[in-house]
Amino acid sequence: RAPYVVRKVVRFAHCDPAGIIYYPQYFMLAHDCKEDWFREAVEYPFRQMITAERRGFPIVKLEAEFMRPSRLGDELDFEITVRAIGGTSLKLDYRCVCAGEERMRLKTVLVMTDLDAGTAVPIPDWLRERLSKFEAPPQEAN
């Protein structure tokens, strides 16, 4: 059930000279978490999706909000929830928390894509069913 949580540690390579996470690194960490989520929870690993089936879920819209800085060594919990599932699109949200303090939020829109044709394709029913297990309750989806 929602949310799916992945813990990531802020490493030296994520930080600027002040020891604070450099904001684009949040996007890389969120992508790593999404890949973990698809593999572990949705049971549709990127190896199968991208390599074998030539499907993908590129981001077509991204909105970020940063509340507090994260620093070298912080343990960040990325909470992933599904806001909505459309015909070809998936609204996926992330909330990044450290020791109960919210650090960052992302709202994304992904589109299931045929990687060879570069076109949107319908999300199959079996995948829609798996994704729906991570939908936020309606009052929390905003």
pLDDT tens-digit series, residues 65-100: 999 999 999 999 999 999 999 999 999 999 999 999
pLDDT at 137: 78
More confident residue, 138 or 134: 134
pLDDT at 139: 63
Mean pLDDT across 106-126: 98
Burial per residue of 54-81, b for 16 or more beta-carbon CB atoms within 10 angstroms, e otherwise? ebbbeeeeeeeeeeebbebebebbbbbb
pLDDT tens digits for 14-67? 999 999 999 999 999 999 999 999 999 999 999 999 999 999 999 999 999 999
pLDDT at 136: 84
